[in-house]
Amino acid sequence: MGNCGSSGGSSDAAARDRYEAGQKQTAAKLTRLGCTRGTVSAVLKLYRQADTNRDGHVDLGEFARQFDIERRNPFLARLVQLFDLSGDGQMSVFEYVVCLSQFGARRGRGDHIYFAWRLFDVDDDGSLTKDEFVRVLKSTYMRGGEHRRGGEKFNTDDRVGRGFSNFGGVGGFAKGIESIIRDMDADGDGEIGLKEFTAVMKKYQHFMAPAFDIWQKLEALAAPCARVYAEVRAAGKLDELIDLAMCSSDTRHGELSSRALRADRADDESLFGGGGGGAGGGGGG
């Protein structure tokens, strides 16, 4: 048993050494990109708070815990997908920094609407289907305080509405969906495009509540990442930071020429804003 304990201790120590070495490499890269020592220290501390298992990546569970988002939230997986710029299924510190930075600056109403649009478009096809919109409605109207029944948690406290009763029960809910979709679907193609969604949010702005709740949770911790973004941008090296975020974990430490960049996922400095000026920009609202 002594040998087993010794072997396990050596393995743990080696893992810790690899993690700390990776942190030092990350710190060196951020410094080279123009970040001050204080900013680097703050953002790595924030990331380490999320990366509780010290594997160098943040998974869905770790992300949910750090930002106090319920695991059953119907948009959690989509949010993590949006942060996974490389598409490799793992959230690196660079992806975390680039994406979270977008919530660290003052934003306008248009940015909130665009974020809601990206979040609600679960299949990422550029439009909201009826099924996706039903998910939004259920999340909007069935939210509330936490209770238990038979050992299972459920919500009853009404913060936004009264669930299906807002539409006259289950049958009314179905009819209400059809009515709202017809109202939103200006061109009658059965799907809701971004322009249609933006226009109708003036009438049904409470539908953005699930997205705005998440926005506020992200915004509360985003300051260190926003500082990284601003300092790198001031140094004229923002493209390099985004390149690091968008290459896969397997290629992140390789040569630049071998990186499999996903340019289609970051064609704008503002990854979640509606074409705004990135984390350094502002917007009235």
pLDDT per residue as tens digits for the range 244-253:
998 855 544 4
pLDDT at 202 over 70: yes
pLDDT for residue 89: 84
C-alpha 116/C-alpha 126 separation (Å) is 12
C-alpha 84/C-alpha 93 separation (Å) is 11
pLDDT tier for residue 135 given thresholds of 50, 70 and 90: confident
For the whole model, what pTM was predicted? 0.75
pLDDT tier for residue 259 given thresholds of 50, 70 and 90: very low
Distance between alpha carbon 184 and the CA centroid of its chain, in Å? 26
The token pair that represents 120 in the structure block: 């609600």
217/144: higher pLDDT: 217
pLDDT at 269 over 60: no
pLDDT for residue 180: 74
pLDDT for residue 248: 59
pLDDT tier for residue 277 given thresholds of 50, 70 and 90: very low
pLDDT for residue 221: 97
Q: What angle do CA 105, 196, 130 make, to 5 degrees?
A: 105
C-alpha 128/C-alpha 186 separation (Å) is 13
Backbone angles phi, psi at 157, to 5 degrees: -65, 125
pLDDT tier for residue 196 given thresholds of 50, 70 and 90: confident
pLDDT digits (tens, 9 = 90+) for 89-112: 889 999 999 999 999 877 788 888
183/253: higher pLDDT: 183
pLDDT for residue 179: 75
pLDDT tier for residue 206 given thresholds of 50, 70 and 90: confident
Mean pLDDT of all residues belonging to the chain: 77
pLDDT at 236 over 60: yes
- Residue in 47, 51, 106, 117 with CA at minimum distance from that of residue 78: 117
C-alpha 9/C-alpha 15 separation (Å) is 10
278/122: higher pLDDT: 122
